[in-house]
Structure 1
Amino acid sequence: MKIIVTDEVAQEGLALLQQDPRVQLDVRLGLKKEELYSIIGDYDVIITRSGTTVDKPLLDAATKLKMVARAGVGVDNVDVDYASSKGVIVVNAPFGNTNSAAEHAMALLLSFCRNVTKANTSLKGGAWKRAPFTGYELKGRKAGVIGLGKVGGRVATRLKAFECDVIACDPYIAEKRAHDLGVRLVTLDEVVKTCDIITVHTPLTDETRDMIGKKELAAMKEGVIIINAARGGIINEEAMLEALDSGKVAGAAFDVWSQEPPDSETLKKLIGHEKMVVTPHLGANTFEAQVNVAVDVSREIIHYLNEQPVDNALNIPRFDASLMDQMRPYLTLMNVLADFAIQLVGSNLNKITFSYTGSLAQHDCTPITVSGLAALLNRRVEQEVNMVNAQLVADRMGIVVEEAKSSQSEAFSNMITLTIEGSGEKRLISGTLFEGVPRVVKLRDYQMDFRPEEHMLLLAYGDRPGMIGRIGTILGEHDINIGSMNLGRREKKGEAMVILSLDSQVSPEVVEKVKAATDATFIKPLYLVTAK
C-alpha cells in the first residue's frame, strides 16, 4: 500500500505505518496543486490535516485512492460526498484532540475574562497598570454550551468546576448524557436569551452555518461573552463585529475563522477589535494532540489493511462504539453468508433482503447490512465495492435492498437470513454464531448445521440408497478428502441436499462425474475466501 502524507503529521503516528512492511510511506509537504494532482494517482491513501483540499479534481486524479485520512476532527477540506460516490473511505481522528480543544476554549475564555493578552502587552511594554485590566469571575455566571459532544461535554465539566451554572443545547444527544454531566438540556433560544457566557462546540454544517447571527445576538443579554473554538462560520462574523461595536457583546474569543488564513476586511476588523481575544486555529495544537491524532489515523489505516472494521470512518455506517466488540462477529458472519449465497445465483440480482431475528434485531443492523451488500456486489461488478459505495452501486444497478427485523427467533437467540432474488430464482441462507464461530443453519427450506469452510461442494438429488457412497468414491479416486458432510431432506426418499467440506478444490471434470453418478438436480463447487 502506497501512502502519501501532504501536511505536517507527528512522527510518532507515522512510525506505526513505517514499521509495517506492507506500507510505502512518502512524506511530501508543501506540494502545489498541480504537483499533487500529477502524482496522486499512484497512491492508495492520503494523510492530510487542514492544509490540503481533497476536492473533486483531486479525487478524480486519485484513480487508486481507497482512503482519505484526516489527522484531526474537522473535514471541511474534504468533499466527503464525492469521495463516497467513488468508494473512497474518509476517516478522521475525533478523539485525539478532544482534550486539547476543550482546554483551549477555556484558555480563550479565561484570557478574555482576566485581560491576560492586554495586560501581557502592557507589562512587556514597560508599563505597570492594574486598574484598566480589572476582569470578570466565572463563579456564579450562567454559561451556555451549544453542542454537548466530545469537546462540548468536557467544556461543560470544566465550567462547572469554576462554579458556573451550566445549561446546554444539543438536539442530537440523549438526555442521559446531559444528566451524567450534571447539565440541563434546553433550547437554543433559552441559551441565547439567558446566558452570560455562550460557547459553541458543533461541527460546521448547513444546519449550523450562521447559527448565531444578527437575530440571535440581538436577543442576548447585554454584556454577554462569546467563545468560538469550534469552526469558523458557525457565528456570523459580520454580525459579531456589529455586536462588539454596539457594546451588546462585552467581548469574544475566537480560535477559528470562516476563511483561514483570514483575508476579508470584516475578518481583519474583527481580529483587530479591542474586545476580541484571537488565536490562529490552535485548538488542536498541543504536542499531545498532534501525536494522538497521528496515531489514531495510522491505526485506522492498519485496520483497513487487516480487513478489520474502521471505527472512525465518516462515510461508513458503524455501530455505537459500546457495541462494536459485541457486533463485530456478526459482520464476519454476514460476509461468510454473502460469500456463500452469491455463488449460488446464476442470474441478475433483482432484490436482496437482509433479515435479523432474536436479540440482534433490537440494535441498528445497518452496518451489517451494508457490509453484506458490499460482499455480494464485489462478486458481480468490476469496480471495487465497499461499505462506502455499496448502496450507491446497488441503486445504479436497480437492485432493491430491504432489511427486516423480528425479535422472535425460530430456534436460535440470534440469526441472520440472506435472501437473494434473481430472474426466476431465489436463494436463501441463514446463519448464526456458535461460540463466536459462523454456522449455516438453513439453506432454502432445508434445516442444516455446518461450519463454512474454504472448499465446499453443494448438491441436491433424489434421496436413495448408495448416493453418499458414490460421491465419496469419486472424490477419493481424485484424491479429494472429505472433511465433513451435512445432509438435509424434507422426507424419506425425497429430495436431499448435501454440503461437503473438502480439503482441496474440485475440478469441473470431477463435478460432472458426481453430477452424473447422482443425477443431481443442482450441483455447485464453492470457494469461500471469507472462511479461510
Structure 2
Amino acid sequence: MTKPKVLISDKMDPNAARIFEERGCDVDIITGETPEELKARIGEYDGLAIRSSTKVTRDILDAATNLKVIGRAGIGVDNVDIAYASSKGVVVMNTPFGNSITTAEHAISLLLAVARQIPQADARTQRGEWPKKDFMGVEVTGKTLGLIGAGNIGAIVASRAQGLRMKVIAYDPFLTADRAMELGVEKVDLGTLLKRADFITLHTPLTDETRNILSRERLEAAKPGVRIVNCARGGLIDEAALKDLLDSGQIAGAALDVFETEPPADDHPLFGTPGFICTPHLGASTTEAQVNVALQVAEQMADYLVNGGVTNALNVPSLSAEEAPRLKPYITLGEKLGSLVGQLEGADVTSLTVEVEGAAAELNITPIASAVLAGLMRTFSDTINMVNAPILAKERGLDVRETRHAREGDYHTLLRVIATTPERRREVAGSLFGDSQARLVEIAGTRIETELEGEMIYIVNEDAPGFIGRLGSTLGEAGVNIGNFHLGRRLPDKHRGGDAVLMLTLDQRPTREVQDAVCALDGVKKVRALSF
C-alpha cells in the first residue's frame, strides 16, 4: 500500500515531520517557495501542512490533483480558499486549541498594559526621562470586562480576569445559560455590554456577521473611558473610528495585536495616537504554542490520511479516529447504495432521505449520509467525494434528510435510501453481513440479497416460467458470462404472477446491443447496466 505523501510548506516544529512518519506518511519539508514553485510541486501530495505564509489559492488547488487535506497549524485560515477547497473535495483543518492559552494570556497582558500605559512609560523612561506624573493608570480590580465571544479563548480570558477580581460579562449568540453559569459570567446583549464594560476584549472569528462588529456607531455608544483589546482578527473594529474616539477621549485606550491589513502601512493613522498600543500579531507567538499547533496539525492530518479520522475540520463534520473504523463499512455501504440510486435514476433525484435503524442508529449518521450523496453524485462527476458532495447537492437544490429509527427490524443493522424524482419514489436498503460485508437487501419493495460489486445488470420482468432460461441463452449467445445470479419476487398476493427483480453479476460490462437483446425478451419491463 502506497503511503500518503505530505508537504510541509511553512516553518514549523521539526517534531511534526516525525509524527507524520511515525503514523505512516512520507513527508517533505520545503519552505519558502513562490506560488509558481508550489503550484508545480503540489500535484504529487495528499496532504499540505501550512502556517500563515503559504497562500492556498484557486490556482494552487487546481494544480493539487491528489490533495485530500490541508492542515493549518494555528487558528486563522484566511490564507486558504476554503469554499474552493471544499468544491475540490479537500478537507481543511486548523488547530483551534493549540494556541488558546497563549492568545488569552496575550490579551490579558495587553489589557494590563493599556490600563497602566506601560509601553509609553517604558519608551520615555528609556529615553532618559522620568515622566512619573504623566502616567496615571487605572486598576482592573472591581472593573467590568466585556467579552465579545466566549468560546475557548474567551473562556480562558474570563478565568484569568476573574483571578484579577474583575466582573465578567459576555456577548456571544452561541453562549447558553448553562455554559455562562459554568464560566461564572453574565450573558448580555451587545448593547448592554457596550454600556457597562470598562474593558472590552474581542474573541471572535472574522465573518460577514462579525466584520466591523465594533463599528463607529457602536464605539460611540460604548461607556465613556472604555479600553479595548483585540487579539482576535483584524477587521472586527472600525480602525478610523477608533482613532477619532481615542483623540476625543471617548475611548481611553486601545491595544491591537491584529489589523485589518497586515502588516499595516507605516503611516497608519493609529500609530502615535495617545492611549494606543500595538503588537505585531503576537497572540500565538510563544514557544509552547508553536510546538503545540505543529504537533496537533500533524496528528490530525495523519489520522485523516491513514485512518479516516476528521478532527477540527472547517468544511466537514468531525469524525474521531475511534469512530472511523466503525463507520468505514457503513460508508462503503452508503456509497454503493447511493451509486445504485444514481445509476437507476440519473440526475433526476430531487430529494434524498437516509434512514438508519438497528446498530446503525447508534452511529454518527452525517458521514454516512455524505457517503450516500457521494455515491449518488459520482454517477455524473468523477471528482465527487464525501467532502464536496453535500456542497454540490445544496447547490443543485437537492433536499437531503437524515432519519434515525430506534426500532429493530429483520436485520441487526439497516441503511435505507429513499430517493424522489418528479416521476417516482425509489427505495433501496442495505445491511452489513459479518459487520463488514456490504449487501443490498431490498430494492423497489422486493427482498433480494446481493453484493454490489463489479459489472452488474438489473432487470425487472413479469414473473413467468421459462424466463430465466431465455435470459441465460441470450447472454450466452452474446458471450457474456454470469458470475452471480440473485432473484427476488414481488408478488401481488402470495400466488403466482407479479414481477421478478434480477441482479446479475457479469464478467464484463454488457454492451448496448446486449442490453437491447435482454430488453426485447418477452415480459421484460426494465433493464439497466450497473457498475460498482
What TM-score, normalized to structure 2?
Answer: 0.78
1:353 is aligned to 2:352 = yes
TM superposition shift of 1:498: 8.7
Alignment of 1:203 with 2:199, yes or no, is: no
Q: Does 1:301 align with 2:301?
A: yes
Q: Distance in 2 between matches of 1:32 and 1:481?
A: 54
One-letter amino acid of the structure 1 residue matched with residue 334 of structure 2: L
Residue aligning to 1:233: 235
**Aligned ranges for residues 98-117 of structure 1 at < 5 Å?**
98-117=100-119
* 1:105-144 map, 5 Å: 105-121=107-123, 124-125=126-127, 132-144=134-146
Counterpart code for 1:387: M
CA gap of 1:2–1:171, structure 2 versus 1, over 3 A, is same
Aligned partner (choices 198, 201, 221) of residue 219 of structure 1 = 221
C-alpha displacement at 1:400, in angstroms?
A: 3.8
Aligned counterpart, 2:12 = 9
- Taking only the aligned residue pairs, the percentage that are identical comes to 34
The one-letter code matched in structure 2 to 1:97 is: N
2:272 — aligned with what?
272
Q: Using the alignment, how far apart are the partners of 1:341 and 1:34 within structure 2?
A: 39
Q: How does 1:25-424 map to 2 (within 5 A)?
A: 25-29=28-32, 31-121=33-123, 124-125=126-127, 132-263=134-265, 265=267, 267=268, 269-306=269-306, 308-316=308-316, 318=317, 329=326, 332-340=329-337, 342-343=339-340, 345-346=343-344, 348-351=346-349, 353-356=352-355, 365-382=365-382, 384-394=383-393, 400-403=398-401, 405=403, 409=407, 411=409, 415-420=414-419
Q: Which whole-Å CA distance do the structure 2 matches of 1:84 and 1:217 have between them?
A: 37
Shift of the 236–95 alpha-carbon distance from structure 1 to 2, 3 Å rule, reads: same
In structure 2, C-alpha distance between the alignment counterparts of 1:520 and 1:291, rounded to whole Å: 70
**Structure 1, unaligned stretches of length 5 or more?**
472-479
Query: For the structure 1 residues 59 and 379, does the alpha-carbon distance in structure 2 shift closer, same or farther, using more than 3 Å as the test?
Result: same
Q: Could you give the per-residue CA deviations for residues 434-461 of structure 1, whole angstroms, max 9, x where no partner exists?
A: 997677664432457x796978999989
Give the counterpart letter for 1:280 in structure 2.
Answer: P
Corresponding residue SS for 2:270: helix
User: In structure 1, how many angstroms separate the alpha carbons of the residues matched to 2:273 and 2:434?
Assistant: 65
Letter matched to residue 149 of structure 1: G
Structure 2 partner of 1:444: 444
Single out whichever of 241-250 and 296-305 deviates more from structure 2.
296-305
Does 2:427 align with 1:428?
yes
Q: State the alpha-carbon separation in 2 of the partners of residues 67 and 209 from structure 1.
A: 28
- Aligned partners of 2:346 and 2:379 also within 8 Å: no
Question: Structure 1 residues 150, 331: closer, same or farther in 2, change over 3 A?
Answer: farther
SS of 2:178's partner is helix
CA contact (8 A) 1:441 1:447 kept: yes
Structure 1 counterpart of 2:477:
none
Superposition deviation, residue 144 in structure 1: 0.6
Q: Distance in 2 between matches of 1:215 and 1:363?
A: 48
AA matched with 1:337:
G
Q: CA deviation at 1:152?
A: 1.1
Deviation, 1:386, is 1.9
TM-score (normalised: structure 1): 0.78
For 2:184 and 2:414, the matched residues in 1 are separated by 40
The AA in structure 1 aligned to 2:311 is: D
Query: Contact 1:210–1:236 (CA<8 Å) still a contact in 2?
Result: yes
Q: Deviation of residue 280 (structure 1)?
A: 0.7
Higher mean displacement: 302-311 or 275-284: 302-311
- Root-mean-square deviation (CA), in Å? 4.5
Q: 1:105 to 1:355 in 2, by over 3 A?
A: same
Contact 1:42 1:62 in 2 (8 A): yes
Task: Report Cα offsets for 1:328-371 as digits up to 9, x if no partner.
Answer: 84574243133145247455242152233669889995543223
CA distance in 2 between counterparts of 1:42 and 1:330 reads: 28
Say if 1:43 and 1:65, in contact at 8 Å, map to a contact too: yes
- State the SS of the aligned residue for 2:195: helix
Q: CA deviation at 1:247?
A: 1.3
User: Taking structure 1 as reference, are residues 277 and 49 closer, same or farther at Cα in structure 2, changes over 3 Å only?
Assistant: same
The alpha carbon displacement at 1:188 in A equals 0.7
State how far apart, in whole Å, the 2-side matches of 1:330 and 1:97 are: 31
Closer, same or farther: CA 72–426 of 1 in aligned 2, 3 Å = same
Q: Answer whether contact 2:48 2:69 (CA < 8 A) is retained.
A: yes
What is the alpha-carbon distance in structure 1 between the residues aligned to residue 25 and residue 380 of structure 2? 28
Counterparts in 2 of 1:432 and 1:224: CA distance versus 1, 3 Å: farther
Equivalent AA in structure 2 for residue 8 of structure 1: K
Matched positions, count: 505
CA distance in 1, matches of 2:175, 2:323: 22
The 1:130–1:452 alpha-carbon spacing in structure 2 relative to 1, beyond 3 Å, is farther
- Cα distance, 1:21–1:365 mapped onto 2, change above 3 Å: closer
1:475 alignment counterpart: none
User: Distance in 1 between the 2:326 and 2:161 partners?
Assistant: 41
Structure 1 residues 15-26: aligned runs within 5 Å: 15-19=18-22, 22-26=25-29
Helix, strand or coil: the match of 1:189?
Answer: helix
Q: 1:121 to 1:431 in 2, by over 3 A?
A: same
Counterpart AA for 2:332: N
8 A Cα contact 1:100 1:283, kept in partner: yes
Bigger mean CA deviation after superposition, 347-356 or 126-135: 126-135
**Secondary structure of 1:270's aligned partner:** coil
SS of residue in 2 equivalent to 1:51: coil
Amino acid at match of 2:389: A
Letter in 2 for 1:16: I
Letter paired with 2:300: E
Point out where structure 2 has 5 or more consecutive residues left out of the alignment: 473-481
